[in-house]
């Protein structure tokens, strides 16, 4: 690991200003992603501003919904009564990820900003446009079993690997941010992560020095009928091959509205408005879900080693919707 200056932030304005003032500075939260990447020499900050003493860990009711502090741990978030009762989809997604130890360390802000697990991104001997713009994409013609089937570009075929954000997107979350100048703004989660295009080095639309303060969830009508399905190589402690955050609001057996978000198939959590439109007004049934799954995957373009994800995603969507609707 390269040397870096360590500072402990005492309040949000100072933290944002400190990172804003140094292009090579980064925030440190749970450290579970950034320290790993620093050990691998992928991330090379010369300064880390430790956020963990900031009073940003509160989870509270706000504006009819709930506000979740950026520094609250994944464990505390998943187990908070407000979340378990009103947003069980979020609880399920969080506990599907990582391990007990990691969730105790991981914060909500850091979780949103976790980077891809593409093995070429991790291996500094390999070309990777995300790590080193212009060097090429090792995965495009390489081993791409874990990679994207939707929304990729020939500059980068990586996936966003996280679980929590898939549920947050289905629940219409908004991210509250403080800029290096101290000014606050919000970004809907749907505009937070981005597709790779020609600039895969940029994972999100967050600017340097912008500090995530909280994640806000509006009141939800999905608490009764939602399900997070994660398919992976082993039963636990592994990243998803395909994940589905599914939620439906039912009225007399018909679907009033639905959410279908796919994880680990694209550079960002992939919400399928096509699938949701196909479900609206239809009866909750295996047939409706099958048609929605076809609609969600219609534009998929698999790579050499991940064609399996197309069929897997379809089946996972149907299964997640069946579970959400309590038909399975």
Partner 1 sequence: MNEEFHENSEPELSADEEALLNEMPALADVGLTRRRFLKQTLAGSLGLFALDLLAHEQALAALSPSPGAVFADKTAENLVKLALKVNGVTKRLEVDSRVVLLDALRERLGLTGSKKGCDQGQCGACTVLVNGRRVLSCLTLAATCEGKDVTTIEGLAKGDQLHPMQAAFIKYDGFQCGYCTPGQICSAVALLEEARRGDVSHVTEDVSATTTQLTNEQISERMSGNICRCGAYPGIVAAIQEVHSGKKTAQTWGFVDDQQLARVRKEDGNAAV
Ligand X SMILES: Cc1cc2nc3c(=O)[nH]c(=O)nc-3n(C[C@H](O)[C@H](O)[C@H](O)COP(=O)(O)OP(=O)(O)OC[C@H]3O[C@@H](n4cnc5c(N)ncnc54)[C@H](O)[C@@H]3O)c2cc1C
Q: Give kind and range of the element (H or E) at residue 89.
A: helix 88-95
Nearest 5°: CA angle at 41, between 305 and 160? 40
User: How far apart (Å, rounded) are the C-alpha atoms in residues 315 and 306?
Assistant: 15
Which residue's CB comes closest to ligand X? 110
Instruction: Report if residue 137 touches ligand SF4, rule: CB under 6 A.
Output: yes
Cβ-based burial of 186 (10 A; exposed 0-12, middle 13-18, buried ≥19): exposed
- Distant-in-sequence, close-in-space partners of 301: CB < 8 Å, separation ≥ 6: 149, 150, 152
Does residue 220 touch partner 1 according to CB under 8 A? no
70 binds, among partner 1, ligand SF4, ligand X, none (CB under 5 to 8 A by kind): ligand X
What's the rounded Cα separation, in Å, for the pair 262 and 312? 11
Contact between 36 and partner 1 by CB under 8 A: the answer reads: yes
> Is the CB of 92 or the CB of 288 nearer to ligand X?
92
Q: Is residue 45 part of the contact set for partner 1 (CB under 8 A)?
A: no
Residue 120 contacts ligand SF4 per CB under 6 A: yes
- DSSP reduced 3-state for 15: helix
Q: Does 129 help bind ligand SF4 (rule: CB under 6 A)?
A: yes
- Least separation in angstroms between residue 51's CB and partner 1 is 10
Backbone phi and psi for residue 153, each to the nearest 5 degrees, phi listed first: -125, 170
CB of 315 to ligand SF4, least distance (A): 25
Binding-site size for ligand SF4 (CB under 6 A) equals 14
Write out the two tokens for 308: 């399996």
Q: Using only the alpha carbons of the chain, give its radius of gyration.
A: 19
Q: Is 121 in the site for ligand SF4 (CB under 6 A)?
A: yes
Per CB under 6 A, 203 contacts ligand X: no
If contact means CB under 5 to 8 A according to the sort of partner, which of partner 1, ligand SF4, ligand X, none does residue 204 touch? Answer: none
Q: Which residues bind partner 1 (CB under 8 A)?
A: 1, 3-6, 8, 28, 30-32, 35-36, 39, 48, 50, 52, 75, 78-79, 84-85, 88, 91-92, 95-96, 98-102, 104-105, 223, 235-237
């Amino acid at each position: 690991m390269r040397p870096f200056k360590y500072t402990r932030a005492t309040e949000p304005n100072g933290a944002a200003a400190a990172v804003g003032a140094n292009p090579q500075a980064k925030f440190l939260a749970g450290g579970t992603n950034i320290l790993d990447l620093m050990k691998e020499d992928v991330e090379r900050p010369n300064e880390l501003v430790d956020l963990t003493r900031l009073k940003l860990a509160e989870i509270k009711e706000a504006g009819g919904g709930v506000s979740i502090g950026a520094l609250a741990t994944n464990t505390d978030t998943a187990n908070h009564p407000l979340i378990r009762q009103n947003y069980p989809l979020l609880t399920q997604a969080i506990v599907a990820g990582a391990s007990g130890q990691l969730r105790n360390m991981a914060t909500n802000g850091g979780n949103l900003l976790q980077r891809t697990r593409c093995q070429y991104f991790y291996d500094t001997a390999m070309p990777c446009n995300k790590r080193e713009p212009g060097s090429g994409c090792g995965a495009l013609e390489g081993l791409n079993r874990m990679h994207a089937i939707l929304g990729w570009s020939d500059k980068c075929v990586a996936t966003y690997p996280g679980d929590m954000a898939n549920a947050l997107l289905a629940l219409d979350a908004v991210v509250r941010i403080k800029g290096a100048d101290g000014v606050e703004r919000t970004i809907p989660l749907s505009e937070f992560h981005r597709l790779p295009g020609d600039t895969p080095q940029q994972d999100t639309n967050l600017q340097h020095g912008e500090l995530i303060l909280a994640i806000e969830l509006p009141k939800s009508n999905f608490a009764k009928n939602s399900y997070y399905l994660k398919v992976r190589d082993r039963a636990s402690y592994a990243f998803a091959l395909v994940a589905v955050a599914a939620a439906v609001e039912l009225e007399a057996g018909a679907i009033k509205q639905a959410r279908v978000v796919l994880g680990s198939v694209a550079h960002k959590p992939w919400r399928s408005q096509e699938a949701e439109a196909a479900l609206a007004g239809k009866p909750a049934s295996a047939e409706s879900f099958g048609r929605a799954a076809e609609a969600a995957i219609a534009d998929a373009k698999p790579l050499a080693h991940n064609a399996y994800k197309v069929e897997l995603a379809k089946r996972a969507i149907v299964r997640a919707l069946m579970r959400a609707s309590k038909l399975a």
